[in-house]
Structure 1
Amino acid sequence: KGKVERFNRVVDSFLSEVAVEKPDTLDRLNELFQVWLSECYQNKPHSALGEKISPESAYRSDRKPLRFIDPDLLADAFLHCETRKVDKSGCISFLDQKYEVGLSFIGRQVDVVYDPSDLEELTIEYEGYTPWKARKLVIGEKAGKRPPLPSHFQKQEAESSRLLKAAESKHQERQIEQAPAVTFRTVWKEDANNV
């Protein structure tokens, strides 16, 4: 906590001084802060480090050389990984986009390694295979608009109902079959006086 408090005092003293200077732009304010940080904090002797030793000189006098991590290794450390199943077309669905993986992986689970800030290209990993890149599936010109149907397949306007005509025909057949039967209605119509 002491280091943080000391740094906060340096920032507070800078704010007091910069208020007098009144910089016009943010860039100028940042330049002045870098100067203040360098001269009044990093290169100023610190009592805990010994006589006339600044944090900057103590840092630079370390006998162990600085080690820098390999940029590719660092980039890989911040990648995300998820598992997806390859569909029947050899593609995976990832964040509402289709990516072509390959027909030989249909039905298999593959690992998708990706950078969340760049989803144009994904790295696909599968055991026993060298990782490869998968790009967004772009539907080409051959899969464009469907050609028009021939005229005999086109939708035709109906002039009458085929179902209703078939029902009417069946009804007439049924009436002919039932005509010989005696019904109360037919008797009433034939001789209304003898009932």
Structure 2
Amino acid sequence: MPRFVYYTASTLNGFLADEDNSLAWLFAVESSAMPDLSAQLGEVAVNVMGSTTYEWVLREEKILETPGRWQQLDYLGDRPAFVFTSRDLPRPEGADVRLVRGAVTDSLGEITTAADGGDVWLLGGGDLVGQFWEAGALDEIQVSFAPATVPSGAPLLPRRIGPDALSLRSVQQFGQFAHLTYDVRH
């Protein structure tokens, strides 16, 4: 069974993106001290994201304008990506992007099979990750808190999850980021 890991960055006041779906606050923070992504995530075999995150990646990384760009990015690469959406969205040439509709529980079997023993990285958004929590498929939360706040936007994890369900495993400092890792108890 794969581990389902939510790995993300957040503002101090708990937003993934501002009210315009911008991450300008994140990229304004000096990040050279951040560790290699693979060192933080372990053996990621599958990526999962919502349509807003997917469209942001396509736009910001200029994926559709640059053939092969998806595969060149270490956080995407050749691994399957499941995108939860209710719309038809473009897929990059040569990328294993699977557009899925419906409840998270309907796709857990396919995601688990695709992971083939590796981990599943839940990129976001927060509401999608909340659906994985509700389905019992959230094992770890890793959040790098940036020294920034925004007045509103996309929340980190818009669910009520009590302290009995989370166990702090580690706290690390990476430059200006405070990185917290929690194990999720089911």
Q: Which has the higher helix share?
A: 1
Q: Which has the larger radius of gyration?
A: 1
The structure with higher relative contact order (CA 8 Å, sep 6+) is 2
TM over 0.5: no
TM-score class, shorter-chain normalisation, is: under 0.3
Please report the TM-score for the alignment, with normalisation by the length of structure 2. 0.16
Q: Which has the higher strand share?
A: 2
